[in-house]
Structure 1
Amino acid sequence: MLQRIFTFFERYSFGVCTYLGERFNISISKIRLFFIYTSFLAVGFPLIFYFFAGIVLDLRNYIKRQHTYYR
């Protein structure tokens, strides 16, 4: 049951932690823990950053797909 929950969130999340982990060569689980812990300490501010970064990454991927489609 717990594995299904993890799979759901990994599949349908924005991929911000994965992007940051690959970009800066840091473990993805450490970045996720950082977001979780700082969300408790900073009263949710990192969640706002996470959603904003997710929207930016989604738009970036959308633009890349459109650019390759019209080539």
Structure 2
Amino acid sequence: MSKVIKMKYFFEKYGFHVSSRLADRLGMRVTSVRLFFIYISFVTAGLWFGVYLTLAFWIRLKDLVRTKRSSVFDL
């Protein structure tokens, strides 16, 4: 058996069982726990994308406010 297939079986056996054990411990349904992890992953990715856009806007605004002069004679 190849290493990729062994790794796939390992993650299927031990990795995907985490959400069901967590749901059993919390007394929730497994689908709710899995949906929570999916929603949290989208929120965290979107949050950092929003921070990136905000910083890009500030840098653009700084460049528009401050005109760059190459020498003293440009006054």
TM range (shorter): 0.3 to 0.5
Structure (1 or 2) with the larger CA radius of gyration: 2
Q: Point out which structure has higher relative CO (alpha carbons under 8 A, 6+ apart).
A: 1
